[in-house]
Copies of this chain bind each other. A is one copy, B any other.
Amino acid sequence: MTMIKATNITWHEGHVSRAEREKLLNQKGALIWFTGLSGSGKSTIAYTVEHALVHRGHLCYVLDGDNIRHGLNKNLGFSAEDRKENIRRIGEVGKLLVDAGLITMTSFISPYRADRQTARDTVGKGDFLEVHCATPIEVCETRDPKGLYKKARAGELKGFTGIDDPYEAPEKPELLLDATNLSPQECAVRVIALLEGAGKIPALKE
């Protein structure tokens, strides 16, 4: 016979609320949506923010091509329809992570304004913070960390954002960063200030 030791446990009906999880984490759920050209600094800044926040005891998670395109969205290609569905699913997963209380960051080019608006509407006002990595294409192309611009210029990659596919810049992003003359650390400080200003994490006491 199994002994049931239910002491020290409080039983409740219904769901645990987002507010209860946020209290446990000492933070409020948020989705920081990085958008910008390939090479504009999105992922580097996101990971820099992640390290700084975890160091401060906050729970973060980054969604990017590595964990999304090879997982949830591995059955999607790069047609217009599939790109749209790609961003839709990322917005929906972001919403779940925000509801779970996490400071969530997404790092995708996400070139189309309408798709980003869908994500914003899904996640909801106040929880969606759009960060435009507005590093000029000349700078991105000079950096070209993955050699993608070179391939696109050579015609080996078709539909490459900024070359033969448009990038629709955000009109009113919550934050605009140009990484031309800013280090990832300097950019991260601005993102963290955005989170503090939005009341998502407590400001550091001096």
Chain A interface (Cβ < 8 Å from any Cβ of B): 2, 4-6, 8-16, 20-21, 24-25, 47-48, 50-52, 54-57, 59-63, 67, 71-72, 75, 85, 89, 92-93, 95-97, 99-102, 122, 184-186, 188-190, 204
On whether the beta carbons of B189 and A6 are closer than 8 Å, the reply is: yes
Closest Cβ of chain B to A163, distance in Å, is 28
On whether the beta carbons of A93 and B72 are closer than 8 Å, the reply is: yes
**For A51, what are the chain B residues with a Cβ–Cβ distance below 8 Å?**
10-12, 16
On whether the beta carbons of B189 and A57 are closer than 8 Å, the reply is: no
Given A20-B54, A100-B102, A5 and B93 contact (CB-CB distance below 8 Å): no
Bound form: Cα–Cα A184–B12 in Å = 10
On whether the beta carbons of A54 and B6 are closer than 8 Å, the reply is: no
Closest Cβ of chain B to A193, distance in Å, is 8
Q: Which residue of B lies closest to A20 (CB)?
A: B54
